[in-house]
Amino acid sequence: MKGIIYAALTFGLCTAVAAQAPLNYDVENRGKDLGATAGQLKSNKKLPNPFEFHDGTKVTKFDDWSKRRNEIKADIEKYEIGDKPIPSDVSATYSGGTLTVTVKEGGKTMTITSKFSIPSGNGPHPIIIGMNSGTGSLSSSLFSGFVQVPFSHDQVAKYSMNGQKDTNVGFYKFYGNKNQNGDYSAWSWGVSRLIDGLAQIADQYHLDMSKIAVTGCSYAGKMALFAGAFDERVTLTIAQESGGGGINSWRTSADFASRGTNIEKIDNTNYSWFMQSLKSQDPYKLPHDHHELIAMIAPRAVIALGNPGYEWLGDESGYKSMMAATEVWKAMGIEDRIGFDFTGGHEHCQAASSQTKSVTAFVDKFLRNKDANTDIHVKPTNGKGFKIDNYGDWIDWETPNLPYEEASIPDTSVAGPDTSVTDTSITSCGDGRIALPKIGMHVTAGRIEVNGAPAGAIVKLYDVRGNVVATLGATGGDLPKAKGRLLAIVESAAGVRLMTKAIVNTGF
């Protein structure tokens, strides 16, 4: 690789594919160092604008979203659940069908275990993390061929129905100074540590870390929602019947309750799950609301399931919140990545057959790479006191255009007719050439993000002298801490060069 010429090669494509935002990232929170802070309490009868920073400036491009997302995260941590720390020392082993994750911090050690089997074959195997069981409250048959990973949340924070927190176990004992946190910070922290562990065994057991889903129902539906929102490695979040404190916005729930319904709202939820201080908050003064908790998932995928026959779930509120959140995906041009199905007529946490089909569509499209229609927006009907068609009254802001844009340098997307390889990621053009996957590459200060590379691919970065300065995974990662021109080459697991692109590292 000596004497690299910094000109990317371009050949004719079989088909043109528009660049789309990544479906997941290789780190828990890309924006943790962006300096985002929580907003102040002030009266706002509408759902807050997800496209406005706390200083009043607007989100005007896709790359702005990471910082705005972290402002929302800061709001939720300050006013609802407490902070979610990222530990520096996590290790993992898989033996006898059990994953053991060991976390060390400040001289303390904590372990989290999960028992599951690895499907046969070489994979790569997608992953479903279920709250309490391998697939939550959904049928395991929906996730055939997946690694089905149960999150046993009592290891991290014990479930409490009466709001009494046990601070002598798990997360609270490990950290010691976070007893005022809500369990949803602890539980989402625990799911992230499982993902840390899965990443460490992924190569050995052929796990596909670009295809991770989380799911749960009821209080565990909230758990799945917080886990997916707070960890950008999650590809698909499935929030089933999460109700108040989940997909429902506090403002729309307060309004719904004012019309005589008995639903979960800010002053009658569980204050072990949330911070005790949340109980005294005025929902109309929060700088955020739960349409923005949902929006933290963007540009990744989410589907919410409801059950309007259960008054306590408050699905009118959930519907309005989902509709408001959808505007974020609409701004990015990826509305097919957010859906909801409020079909009723079934028991709590027992999905209707139509809802099972809705989930299957999202699983097929985003975790199995199959063609599927995910334009799924099933309104709640026949609920007590429902008034759903005025959701637009809650929005007094405009939706901008925030398209995802790749770096402008062309890429090698098709090899010439003399190329002879055997690689399942490569298809024939039918005219003597072979078509390589359409791969997107997006470069920001300090990071390179790759979208569309097959599992097992690597990204090699070369300096101007032809030296390899970094080798990254299929989704990219941190750039080396040096300014200058680099050559990024994406190679398949079989060693086939899939893409060559010259980039400029502007530093940090």
Structure tokens at 385: 């006191």
Q: Checking DSSP bridges between strand 98-105 and strand 89-95, what pairing results, if any?
A: antiparallel
**pLDDT (0 to 100) of residue 162:** 83
Could you write out the three-class secondary structure of 278-293?
A: HHHCCHHHCCCCHHHH
CA distance linking residue 47 with residue 252, whole number of Å: 8
Element (H, E) at 320: helix 315-332
- Contact between residue 181 and residue 164 where contact means Cβ atoms under 8 Å apart: no
pLDDT at 484: 62
In the structure encoding, which two tokens stand for residue 238, read together? 């499935």
> Is the bond preceding 308 in cis, omega lying within 30 degrees of 0?
no
- β-strand partners of 215: 130, 238
**C-beta separation of 313 from 217 below 8 A:** no
**Residue 207 CB contacts under 8 Å (≥ 6 apart), including other chains:** 118, 123, 124, 125, 127, 147, 198, 201
Q: Where are the domains of the chain?
A: 62-86+123-153+208-394, 414-505
Interval 76-125: pLDDT, tens: 999 999 999 999 999 999 999 999 999 999 999 999 999 999 999 988 99
Look up 353 and say whether it is catalytic.
no
CA dihedral in degrees (120, 121, 127, 132; nearest 10)?
A: 0
Q: CB-based burial of residue 445 (10 Å sphere; 0-12 exposed, 13-18 middle, 19+ buried)?
A: exposed
Backbone angles phi, psi at 450, to 5 degrees: -115, 135
Residue 37 Cα distances to 30, 235, 444, angstroms: 15, 26, 21
Tokens representing 449? Answer: 């993000």
Torsion sign across C-alpha atoms 463, 467, 468, 470: negative
- Asked if 228 contacts 297 with a C-beta cutoff of 8 angstroms, the reply is yes
Q: What is the DSSP letter of 212?
A: E
Instruction: Give this prediction's pTM.
Output: 0.80
pLDDT tens over the chain, length 508 residues: 322 222 233 333 333 334 679 999 999 999 999 999 999 999 999 999 999 999 999 999 999 999 999 999 999 999 999 999 999 999 999 999 999 999 999 999 999 999 999 999 988 999 999 999 999 999 999 999 999 999 999 999 999 988 889 999 999 999 999 999 999 999 999 999 999 999 999 999 999 999 999 999 999 999 999 999 999 999 999 999 999 999 999 999 999 999 999 999 999 999 999 999 999 999 999 999 999 999 999 999 999 999 999 999 999 999 999 999 999 999 999 999 999 999 999 999 999 999 999 999 999 999 999 999 999 999 998 777 888 888 899 999 999 999 997 543 333 333 333 333 333 444 444 443 445 567 888 777 678 888 888 888 899 887 765 677 888 998 988 888 655 677 888 888 777 778 777 776 644 3
Domain 62-86+123-153+208-394 has CATH 3.40.50.1820: yes
The pLDDT assigned to 448 comes to 87
Which H or E element spans position 304? strand 301-305
- Give the DSSP letter string of 67-108: HHHHHHHHHHIIIII------SEEEEEEETTEEEEEEEETTE
- Kindly report the CATH number that applies to the domain delimited by 414-505: 2.60.40
CB 338 within 8 A of CB 377: no
Q: Read off the pLDDT of residues 459-484 as tens digits, 9 standing for 90 and up.
A: 988 776 567 788 899 898 888 865 56
- Taking the C-alpha atoms of residue 356 and residue 375, their distance in angstroms, rounded to an integer, is 15
239: nearest Cα among 382, 365, 338, 134: 338
* C-alpha–C-alpha distance, residues 114 and 33, integer Å: 31
* CA–CA dist 132, 217 (Å, integer): 10
* Whether 388 contacts 47, CB under 8 Å: no
50 close to 394: Cβ distance less than 8 angstroms: no
In whole angstroms, give the CA distance from residue 51 to residue 400. 8
Catalytic residue among 206, 346, 348, 377: 348
Mark out the alpha helices in 155-311 (DSSP H runs): 170-175, 183-205, 219-230, 250-257, 290-295
Burial class of residue 382, CB neighbours in 10 A (0-12, 13-18, 19+)? exposed
Is 348 catalytic? The answer is yes
Catalytic site residue from 188, 218, 253, 272: 218
pLDDT at residue 488, rounded to an integer:
85
Cross-strand partners of 340: 304, 377
pLDDT, position 382: 74
pLDDT recorded at residue 13: 36
Residue in the structure block whose two tokens are 């010439």: 416
